[in-house]
Structure 1
Amino acid sequence: MAQAMMRLGVFLVILLMLVAAEAGTSHPKPKKVQCKNQDYPDCYCLELTCPSACPEQCEVDCVTCSPVCNCNKPGAVCQDPRFIGGDGITFYFHGKKDQDFCIVSDSNLHINAHFIGKRNQNMKRDFTWVQSLGILFGNHKLFIGAKTTSTWDDSNDRLSLSIDGEPINLPDSEGANWQSILSPGALSITRTKNTNSIEIEAEGNFKIKAVVVSITEKDSMIHKYGVTQEDCFAHLDLSFKFYALSGEVNGVLGQTYASNYVSRVKMGVVMPVLGGDKEFASSSIFASDCAVSRFSGEFVKNNPSDSFEYMNCASGTDGRGVVCKR
């Protein structure tokens, strides 16, 4: 009898451990999203489910009336880092770890990205990710960053925000909003989840969606990153939308919105890489001294002949094969 009771106790302990493990690995239900553009009545307010590739980070493309991962839309900068240009073409720009590169530079908008990473001993480059942004617009300096962390817990907010050197504090609650009246325009920051996900909009200038993510053990194993438990390389997945670019805009991403841009990306390869470390390198996160800088702090209105014509675009799950409609 005693042995039977002992075996039963062991069985119950194992069962409880399995239940706890299953609960710990359960995934939240995919997010529901809607088209908010009334110009598309057949799709407007229709509720759709985010794809399995991005269960919590998608939007509805009202043109095709389908959910699209934020990292697969034109203007996205995600992962290692993978860019999707304004022309819809996907490319990679690796840069170098612990250095800054201008990704957008125009007369009244300059965005630098600070790269973190690890040296790959088997390759001639670093593994890199975008850790923070330094944004210059008018006479203002906006900082968005992912704080260093060892063990990742998405319920622990790792966002760092400041404007003109003053920290911005947002409650850990979805929908929490911070606003500031600037000259010109206004700046608004809203949490799109309780933690680690925000939307930033500068009136008439830009909108940025930023999500802090980490390198998981699975990612590290697949890509041979060699990431350890001392640092999970928390970084930013980003989605940009621009309202007032000139035809002369430049930068790693910005150049793809220029009026005379011709892609330098070698098409047809699995991982098309864009070079140009030297021309895009900046001396610091808020420096506008990269070789292709266009920043003056004053808005230069587009000429009708050189303005960028915006397009509605949607893409497949891998960000390739983008379809655009003017």
Structure 2
Amino acid sequence: MKTTSPLLLWLPLLLFAWVIESPVAAQQPEVAIPAAPGKSGPPVKPIPPLNGVVPKQVRCLSPLFPLCFNQWHNCPFECANTCFLDCVSCKPVCSCNTPGAVCQDPRFVGGDGVTFFFHGRKNEDFCLVSDPNLHINGHFIGKRNQKLTRDFTWVQSLGIMFDDHQLLVGAKRTSTWDDNEEHLYISFNGTPLSLDGPNWNYRNSSLVMTRTSSTNGVAIEVQDNFRITAAVVPIGAEESRIHGYNITNDDCFAHLELGFKFFNLSDKVDGVLGQTYRSNYVSKVKLSANMPVMGGIPKYSTSGIFAYDCTVSRFARANGTPVTGSGKVF
């Protein structure tokens, strides 16, 4: 009679323990691991609307966290449509309040935890992160307010370069907003990807992309390099009124709200966001200001969404030739 090796008996438990301790597993978004069919619990009672806003409900779909698995939670009002469920704490988290977040007009939370604004200029591209094996540009859209000396701006698309690959993630322009309509656009190495349905996912070597919501949300990860969550959101009428954006019905300024996590940055990393991850970085923004703004627009400016010719570039492509192109997504 054959006996099972003790090592084989312990192997599943050892593997499970390793996954639990993995920093990537602990940060999984709402749909990183599909739920088992028929296991979903009933949604919690919705929060009464505030100023016409009804927060969405999110849940943890990772069976690695059984005490939180499939429990529904309401998003807080301050991030009614852009929160995710942190499976570790089993609480909804505003993705715009964690280190690596880029949201709103655009508001950054640096790797050092310091919050600042970088307005850039509308219809231009800027280096957000630049490291020898990773370069990320942001294309800014915006609108001029005659009462200010700057544009209102938002990040409309990302141009992500790693190894010899180019990944474009952007928000399609739309005049009216519908949560059930797909406003997210993704292309990989110049080929547009078809985001087919709420369970869409994509794998190519070390690149993995999964849904974080049935529409307009995605998590992107390259093993041992980076993880990015991106959600397309509009400027709503109430937000426009509060901030004086004067957004009209011909364009709701759909844009990206982003969360970045990096696994292998060098201490040479630069860019609007990237520099804040250096071990010796000291914030240059005036923290006592009502709106701490990072200046230096010219040194972060680049000629295209896939160009790495900004002054602070650290990217080392094999062919050494900057690639230019538009960051516009239609």
- Which bin holds the TM-score, normalised by the shorter protein? 0.7 to 0.9
Q: 2:157–2:171: 8 Å Cα contact kept in structure 1?
A: yes
Residue pairs, 1:261-280, within 5 angstroms: 261-280=281-300
* Conserved? CA contact 2:59–2:69, under 8 Å: no
Q: Is the 8 A contact 2:96 2:259 kept in 1?
A: yes
Q: Deviations over 1:267-312 (max 9, x none)?
A: 12221111110010001000000000000037xxxxxxxxxxxxxx
Amino acid at match of 1:104: V
Q: Is the Cα contact below 8 Å between 1:48 and 1:66 reproduced in 2?
A: no
Q: State the shift of 1:202 in Å.
A: 1.1
Deviation at 1:34, TM superposition (A): 7.4
- 1:165 maps to 190
Q: Greater shift after overlay, 200-209 or 75-84?
A: 200-209
1:67 CA displacement: 3.4
Partner residue in 1 for 2:33: none
Structural RMSD (CA): 2.3
Q: Report what 2:97 is aligned to.
A: 72
Unaligned runs of 5+ in 1: 1-21, 299-326
Q: What amino acid is the match of 1:148?
A: R
Contact 2:100-2:109 within 8 A present in 1 as well: yes
TM-score of the superposed pair, with normalisation by structure 2:
0.75
Q: Does 1:30 align with 2:57?
A: yes
Deviation at 1:60, TM superposition (A): 2.1
Structure 2: how far apart are the matches of 1:95 and 1:26? Answer: 30
Q: Secondary structure, in 3 states, of the residue corresponding to 2:57?
A: coil
TM-score normalised by L of structure 1: 0.76
Residue number in structure 2 paired with 1:108: 133
SS of 2:239 mapped into structure 1: helix
1:147 aligns with 2:181: no
Q: Is residue 237 of structure 2 the alignment partner of residue 217 of structure 1? A: yes
Higher-Rg structure is 1
Number of aligned residue pairs: give it. Answer: 266
Amino acid at match of 2:200: A
CA distance in 2, matches of 1:61, 1:102: 32
Shift of 1:55: 4.1
Aligned to 1:196: 216
Q: Name the counterpart of 1:58.
A: 84
- Relative to structure 1, the CA distance from residue 90 to residue 35 in structure 2 (aligned partners, 3 Å threshold; closer, same or farther) is farther
Distance 1:89 1:61 in 2: 25
Which stretches in structure 2 are left out of the alignment for 5+ residues?
A: 1-48, 319-330
Distance 1:216 1:140, change over 3 A: same
Contact in 2 for aligned 1:48/1:60 (Cα 8 Å): no
1:241-260 counterparts in 2 under 5 A?
241-260=261-280
In structure 2, do the counterparts of structure 1 residues 67 and 277 end up closer, same or farther at CA, with 3 Å as the change threshold?
same
Separation in 1 of the partners of 2:84 and 2:136? Answer: 24
Distance 2:77 2:241 in 1: 21
User: Which of 107, 114, 119 matches 1:94?
Assistant: 119
Higher relative contact order (CA 8 A, sep 6+): 1
Tell me how far apart the structure 2 counterparts of residues 36 and 85 of structure 1 sit (CA, whole Å): 31
